Amino acid sequence: MFYNKLILTLSIIFLATQVNAKEDNYSFLHYKSEVFYVGGKYIKQSKDKTLMSEQMYVEKWTPKEIKHKYPLVLIHGAAQTAVNWITTPDGRPGWANYFVKNGYVVYMVDQPSRGRSAWHPKINKEFRMFNAEILEKKFTAAEQFKNQWPQAYKHNQWPGTGRQGDETFDQFYASQVESVKSHVESSNLVKNAGVALLDKIGPAILITHSQSGPFGWLITDARPDLVKGIVTIEPSGPPIKNKKGKKSMTWGVSVVPMTYEPAIASAKQLEVVQETKAQGTNLVKCWKQKEPAKQLVNLKDKNILFLVSESSYHAPYDHCTSNWLTQAGVKNDLVRLEDVNIKGNGHMLMLEKNNLEIAKFIDNWLNKNIK
Cα–Cα nearest to 298, from 328, 268, 271, 272: 328
322 catalytically annotated: no
In tens digits, the chain (371 residues) has pLDDT values of 434 444 443 343 334 444 444 444 444 557 999 999 999 999 998 889 999 999 999 999 999 999 999 999 999 999 999 999 999 999 999 999 999 999 999 999 999 999 999 988 878 778 999 999 999 999 999 999 999 999 999 999 999 999 999 999 999 999 999 999 999 999 999 999 999 999 999 999 999 999 999 999 999 999 999 999 999 999 999 999 987 778 899 999 999 999 999 999 999 999 999 999 999 999 999 999 999 999 999 999 999 999 999 999 999 999 999 999 999 999 999 999 999 999 999 999 999 999 999 999 999 999 999 98
User: In this structure, how many other beta carbons lie within 10 angstroms of the beta carbon of residue 50?
Assistant: 10
- What type of residue is 175? S
Q: Of 53, 210, 312, 322, which one is the catalytic site residue? A: 210
CB 198 within 8 A of CB 219: yes
Q: Which residues pair with 36 in a beta bridge?
A: 58
Cα angle 130-131-135, degrees, rounded to a multiple of 5:
80
Q: Long-range contacts of range 246-249, CB-CB < 8 Å, 24 or more positions apart?
A: 249/214, 249/321
pLDDT of the residue at 121: 81
Answering whether pTM is above 0.75, one says yes
CB 359 within 8 A of CB 99: yes
Phi, psi of 331 (to 5 degrees): -65, 140
> Angle 183-201/213-222 helices, nearest 10 degrees?
50
Domains of the chain: 29-369 (3.40.50.1820)
N residues, the chain: 371
Helix (H) or strand (E) segment spanning residue 194: helix 183-201
Question: What's the first-to-final CA gap in the chain, in angstroms?
Answer: 57
Which DSSP state fits 294? P
Chain-centroid distance of CA 331 in Å reads 20
